Chains A and B, each alone.
Chain A
Amino acid sequence: MIPGSFDYSAPSSLEEAISLLQQHGDDAKILSGGHSLIPMMKLRLASPAHVIDINRIPDLDYIKEEDGVLRIGALVREADLEESELIRSKYPIIYEATKLIADPSVRNVATLAGNLAHGDAANDHPAVMLALGAELVATGPNGSRTIAIGDFFQGFFTTALEVNEILTEIRIPSPAANSSGTYLKLERKVGDYATAGIALQLALGPQAVCESAGIGLTNVGDMPIKAIAAEQSLVGKTLNDEHMKHAAELASDASDPMPDLRGSAEYKKNMVRVLTYRALKQVVEKILS
């Protein structure tokens, strides 16, 4: 498996990268971790004429919390997230999802930003970011703009990024006290794309009343899904088993999977239900413990 020929550039600044993108338009592809792009090129499913390697752009590999916002730079690797004490302790939902992506060697290279920008409903981080209510920063020739995660995924392998834009930063609101999350993923074997995945972030207030709920679904539709009705059904309730089961049903209703080797549509819808319920039980227990 050998990729086709292409021109390669490794700009040393964001400006330079964007001007290259402007120059080559649809003929160019951004290379960061490359673990979606390079396999596609080897299979000749992608044959970009130009590959713009952004790995040499400095200062894009930060994970930092400022003013109640977690900021993750475009070149932060999955392994960086996994090894970050901040992520482990304060954003368990990201940690749990990250360690289930592919395998450790892939995670040493693959990036969070790439996982999102690829627009693949089978990737794990989109659901996590939907659950967390992230904002994405896209940088183009006219500077930067922020895109709410809910507006980012627009269809099958389609995102709100313009041809001349690069996803440069992920911004996540710092979680309130008494909040936590998790990511549950059913896979045929370890490292597989999800048969179904569910990202859950919950915040409980006084008397354990649910103040906010974020639920994202992986690989059960042609794009990542935010289970809005399920989220809304939880808010304002003191969560009991019945509420959790109801929310799980609503999350299942929000999914729209296709049958494939991972199972029938019905199986996958049921797995969303089962995983959502299990996630709710776990996270509520974790917050209350």
Chain B
Amino acid sequence: MHSITVTVNGQAYTKEVEARLLLVHFIRDVLALTGTHIGCDTSNCGACTILINGRSVKSCTQFAVQADGKEITTVEGMAGEALHPIQEGFKEEHGLQCGFCTPGMIMRASDLLSKNPNPSEEEIRWAISGNLCRCTGYNNIVKAIKYAASKMTEEVVES
């Protein structure tokens, strides 16, 4: 067993884990943060996407021990007092149906917008190409991310 300390959504956790424990299971089963989902075995679907030190990562393809000392953000850590603009975008633009891929999509969008605050439709489509959605046909996910981009840009301008 290995002792690891991980900061998740701003809170530090110290836990004993088996080396083979996948990070996604650590988040879901050990920390009981079930917003991060599992949709495949082969890192194709992106349902398990989280942020590690601000970068989107598929948490099914990481061991929990690798996250020792890292800062993790999951979908549960996105909203503050109000919804995060990306979350708001998904609701406003009907960017979700069953909701299963949504947390991964939101986390992926967060990484994208941190690097490219004003992405084109084409850039958004490529940026979410590692996140599968079976319900929406992606049209409204693209719109949701655009909504978030313009809202976040406005916020930056205002502040």
Q: Which residues of A contact B (CB under 8 A)?
A: 1-8, 10, 31, 34-35, 38-39, 41-43, 51, 53, 55, 79, 83, 99, 102-106, 108-109, 190-191
Which among B43, B57, B58, B112 has the highest number of chain A CB atoms within 10 Å?
B43
- Per-residue interface assignment for chain B, residues 6 to 49, with 1 indicating a CB less than 8 Å from any chain A CB and 0 otherwise: 00000000000011101000000000000000000111101001
Q: How far is the CB of B13 from chain A (nearest CB, A)?
A: 19
Q: Other CB < 8 Å A-B pairs besides A1-B41, A10-B65, A38-B63, 7 of them? A: A2-B20, A4-B20, A6-B19, A8-B19, A103-B129, A105-B57, A109-B58
Contact between chains at B20 and A191 (CB < 8 Å): no
Q: How many Å lie between the Cα of A6 and that of B58 in the bound state? A: 21
Q: Please provide the chain B residues from 129 to 149 with a CB less than 8 Å away from any CB of chain A in the complex.
A: 129-131
B73 contacts the other chain (Cβ, under 8 Å)?
A: no
- The verdict on A2 contacting B112 (CB below 8 Å), with A8-B2, A42-B41 known, is no
- The verdict on A105 contacting B49 (CB below 8 Å), with A79-B55, A190-B126 known, is yes
Q: How many Å lie between the Cα of A167 and that of B44 in the bound state? A: 27
When distances are taken between beta carbons in the complex, the residues of chain B under 8 Å from A10 are: 65-66, 68
When distances are taken between beta carbons in the complex, the residues of chain B under 8 Å from A103 are: 46, 129-131
B56 contacts the other chain (Cβ, under 8 Å)?
A: yes
B93 contacts the other chain (Cβ, under 8 Å)?
A: no
Q: Number of A-B pairs whose CB atoms are under 8 Å?
A: 88
Contact between chains at B20 and A34 (CB < 8 Å): no
Q: How far is the CB of B144 from chain A (nearest CB, A)?
A: 17
Contact between chains at B56 and A108 (CB < 8 Å): yes
- The verdict on A108 contacting B108 (CB below 8 Å), with A5-B20, A6-B20, A8-B19 known, is no
- Name the interface size band of chain B: 20 to 34
B152 contacts the other chain (Cβ, under 8 Å)?
A: no
* Cβ-neighbour of B111 out of A35, A38, A108 (below 8 A): A108
Q: How many Å lie between the Cα of A53 and that of B126 in the bound state? A: 30
Q: How far is the CB of A114 from chain B (nearest CB, A)?
A: 12
Contact between chains at A5 and B55 (CB < 8 Å): no
Q: Which residue of B lies closest to A43 (CB)?
A: B41
- The verdict on A109 contacting B65 (CB below 8 Å), with A5-B20, A103-B46 known, is no
When distances are taken between beta carbons in the complex, the residues of chain A under 8 Å from B19 are: 5-8, 51
Contact between chains at B22 and A104 (CB < 8 Å): no
Q: How far is the CB of A68 from chain B (nearest CB, A)?
A: 31
Contact between chains at A38 and B61 (CB < 8 Å): yes
* Cβ-neighbour of B20 out of A3, A43, A102 (below 8 A): A3
Q: How many Å lie between the Cα of A105 and that of B65 in the bound state? A: 19
Q: How many Å lie between the Cα of A52 and that of B104 in the bound state? A: 29
B153 contacts the other chain (Cβ, under 8 Å)?
A: no
Q: Which residue of A lies closest to B56 (CB)?
A: A105
* Cβ-neighbour of B130 out of A6, A38, A106 (below 8 A): A106
- Per-residue interface assignment for chain B, residues 59 to 87, with 1 indicating a CB less than 8 Å from any chain A CB and 0 otherwise: 01111011010000000000000000000
Contact between chains at A53 and B55 (CB < 8 Å): no
- The verdict on A35 contacting B43 (CB below 8 Å), with A105-B108, A109-B62 known, is yes
When distances are taken between beta carbons in the complex, the residues of chain B under 8 Å from A191 are: 44, 129-130
Contact between chains at B115 and A34 (CB < 8 Å): no
* Cβ-neighbour of A34 out of B18, B44, B55, B61 (below 8 A): B61
